[in-house]
Structure 1
């Protein structure tokens, strides 16, 4: 069985919005984990995480020089600030939701975890 942990243990996030589009940046705390995050925090994973909001598109942009990625999620804010009836019309809480995503431990930590079983 693969040990997992929440994404927030390896990265932090920032969120912005424009209309019915949210963008969520995920920035690795440790550059050694960036490739692992790229492999596991995918467009499909993000689409699945927000499936009940029925996003029309999810696009990921990588920024390796900053050990970061940015997700642009269309159709996820219930029409945008002026149209949405939800409590978080700006979608600021979406980054917190994404940071709850469970991912396998990075290899440098998985080795330590396996030795402690």
Structure 2
């Protein structure tokens, strides 16, 4: 079921969320200091392309907290807003609720991606 969900997700809008993460990653990789952040964006882009069957666990320490604050100010807020809007639109119909919930999961991840592990 996860494979079918990922296929429908990718065709019906997952590509937009994944491309947004890729664009954010490319912008972060322009500077040498932002390369670790950009690499994290590319990892999360793969989750945004195919989120079904994957789980996110949050953890981390002070370094993750500081990077999450910088991330939130620079680009995390806009990615979270994008996923919240897509999630709200998809939750209008019964069929779209599982896809909307995935967008809400990605919105939370867009707010604090550092210290999060994807399983």
**TM-score (ref. length: structure 1):** 0.29
RCO higher in structure (CA 8 A, sep ≥6) = 1
- TM-score (structure 2 length as normaliser): 0.29
